[in-house]
Amino acid sequence: MPVTEFRRIGSLDVSVVGLGCNNFGRRLDESATAKVVKAALDEGINFFDTADTYGGTDSEKFLGRALGKRRDDVIVATKFGMKIDENRKGARPEYVKQACEDSLRRLNTSYIDLYQLHTPDETVPIADTLGALDDLVKAGKVREIGCSNFSADQLHEADAAVQIGCSRFVSVQNEYSLLHREPGKGVIAECAALGMAFIPYFPLANGLLTGKYRKDQPPPEASRMATGWNSRLLTERNLDKVENLIAFAESHGHTILELAFSWLLSREMVSSVIAGATSPEQVRANANAPVWDLTEAELTEVTRIVPLHD
């Protein structure tokens, strides 16, 4: 069943399930990327989140080609600021504009729906970066601006630096999941105070919340954990939490994947859950996951299993 629920990121209407594109150009070649993107479009997903650094800059290229004539039907988000090389990094105003032009070219588009500062740059006053981003909005090259990996204090500082009549960050993208609840300690409250959308990345905790990693069982062959990628997450403590979450979900007729998506979307400030996918099957599973309208009692039980301050 196609995704039919949408939420707002500033002026943008985005599907509550989005597609994280960090696998494009890294784990997926151009052909495999096209299949994943087509599956997402078929499922009603309209929000695609990438970055200039993903896949050694290939993610943007592959996404642009895969969207093709469907470009104007979707919301494309990308990011700048993390190091590509010695000359391409940071948030200096002149680089912001260069990075935007580079992303526009790679994405084969004339505009970016949501342009995000990928990480804070302490060497540049945030007001200077915001000024450059505002220029891009006024030039029609960017529709909305956002940030990523910002603390609550940094969000407050950025909002205070916005000049009258200028663009402000409408979203923040930070890691957030049932196994990484740090944003619940301040960032989400700051989003509520500022009217910003929150976009959780790694919503499935690198696959731990899909149910494919179980205690006392070897990880599936060819999985990221099996190949050593982030295998440090396969701790006994994390796997105990996973087993308890699986038991809780199954006792209510759901899967842990459905719990992971539905729990995030129970947060009012969460706009879209951008899980990555390496196959059309994963896209379809993710698109159909937010089916559980958790009650207050169920949310309380989840917090007992995975405490906020654990």
Instruction: Give the catalytic positions in this structure.
Output: 54
Check residue 224 and report its DSSP letter. T
Task: Give the Cβ contact number of residue 227 at 10 Å.
Answer: 11
Nearest to 121 by CA among 113, 129, 110: 129
Measured over all CA atoms, what is the biggest interatomic distance in the chain, rounded to whole angstroms? Answer: 58
**Under 8 Å between Cβ of 11 and 285:** no
Task: Give the Cβ contact number of residue 141 at 10 Å.
Answer: 18
Task: Give the three-class secondary structure for 192.
Answer: helix
Measured CA to CA, the distance from residue 174 to residue 147 in angstroms comes to: 9
Task: Give the Cβ contact number of residue 222 at 10 Å.
Answer: 7
Measured CA to CA, the distance from residue 177 to residue 70 in angstroms comes to: 31
Measured CA to CA, the distance from residue 275 to residue 91 in angstroms comes to: 26
Residue 31 has phi, psi (to 5 degrees) of: -65, -45
Give the start-end residues of each E strand in 149-302: 169-175, 197-201, 273-276
